[in-house]
Amino acid sequence: MFFAKKNRFVCASIAAVVLASSAPASFAATATSSLTISASVVAACTVVGSAIAFGAYTQTVVNQSGSITVLCTNGTTYNVGLDAGTGSGSSVTTRKMSATGGGTLNYALYRDSGRTNNWGSTIGTDTQAGTGTGLLQTLTVYGQIPASQTPLAGAYSDTVTVTLTY
């Protein structure tokens, strides 16, 4: 019996040491939630046209080109149109430069280097369609002054409005 009490005492002492050394750690309380994150990307575009300088006209065909720079939000579809210009009697198929002395000089603007696709202002007919990439996109405008015109001597000019629809 003495050994049984002694064994129980030893076992109880060992158990107390084990329990004391392995007491549960103190835990911090936690709670969770979430953040709602949102943004909107607005479709936006800008457009800038360059000059087209034909140079001297000597009754032969003169070809020259210029550019239109478009910047649209990625994925935004657009159309670029060119109006008839400010020359008296101009249309999108026969534009007219005017001189300060009263003369006119006909010219045309095209969407292709072969100068067969007129560049006008009717969406779906004679405008240039595209889709924005978020980067600058350059469109070439191909101009031509037809041969055999007999304009007055002078400096001729016109202003064509570029309209970007998106």
Residue type, 30: T
* Conformation bin of residue 104: beta by default, left when phi > 0, alpha when psi is -120 to 50: beta
Q: What is the pLDDT of residue 102?
A: 87
CB–CB of 50/87 below 8 Å? no
Number of H helices, E strands in the chain: 1, 9
Task: Return the structure tokens found at 60.
Answer: 């032969």
Separation between Cα atoms, residue 97 and residue 103, nearest integer Å: 8
Separation between Cα atoms, residue 77 and residue 132, nearest integer Å: 6
Q: What is the pLDDT of residue 32?
A: 96
Backbone angles phi, psi at 81, to 5 degrees: -120, 155
pLDDT by residue for the chain (166 residues), tens only, comes to: 444 455 554 445 554 544 455 555 678 999 999 999 999 999 999 999 999 999 999 999 999 999 999 999 999 999 999 999 999 999 999 999 999 988 999 999 999 999 999 999 999 999 999 999 999 999 999 999 999 999 999 999 999 999 999 9
CB–CB of 105/145 below 8 Å? yes
Domain boundaries, the chain: 45-165
CB–CB of 94/143 below 8 Å? no
Q: What is the pLDDT of residue 3?
A: 46
| Three-state secondary-structure class, residue 3 | helix
C-alpha distances in angstroms, 141 versus 28, 38, 75, 163?
A: 70, 40, 23, 14
Look up the pTM and report it: 0.79
Separation between Cα atoms, residue 70 and residue 50, nearest integer Å: 12
Q: What is the pLDDT of residue 22?
A: 54
| CATH number of the domain located at residue range(s) 45-165 in this protein | 2.60.40.1090
